[in-house]
Amino acid sequence: MSDHEYGGNDDLSLPKATVQKIVSEILPASSGVSFSKEARDLLIECCVEFITLVSSEANEISEKEAKKTIACDHITKALETLGFSDYIPAVLEAAAQHKETQKVREKRGNKFEESGMTLEELEELQRQQFEAARERHA
């Protein structure tokens, strides 16, 4: 699959440090196996290509269903269509974990509302803290 099939962009990539961290967790230093920068860069290119392939297929599926938003169901159908059915359980588990994380974030609420202070009181507190910081670093 070429980049041109998907309207590719050479700027598409993944953060090298994040990929390196993932690889390091899989291949700890104690294993004696190292991962070259060239191998990491190739892995990143493969990941971007995989994401492009799956998202393109999911987009086609969502368009056939006259949907304007790609949903998790479209991703799983795309994986199945492309022959990656083995990944579906992991994708569904990741989606469920993400949903739980979002619920926790929503429950945390708004710090402003929970502070019990008026906007004016918060602004004054902020002004005082900035002044104290200026004095410490002067």
Residue 117, pLDDT > 70, answer yes
Per-residue pLDDT, averaged over 34-58, amounts to 95
Q: How far apart are CA 41 and CA 47, in angstroms?
A: 10
Of the candidates 58, 117, 113, 45, the residue with the CA atom closest to the CA atom of residue 84: 58
Backbone angles phi, psi at 116, to 5 degrees: 75, 10
H/E run at residue 2: none
Per-residue pLDDT, averaged over 110-115, amounts to 73
pTM: 0.67
| Per-residue confidence (pLDDT) for residue 10, from 0 to 100 | 63
How would DSSP label each residue in 24-37?
HHHS-GGGT----H
Tokens, residue 106: 């929503």
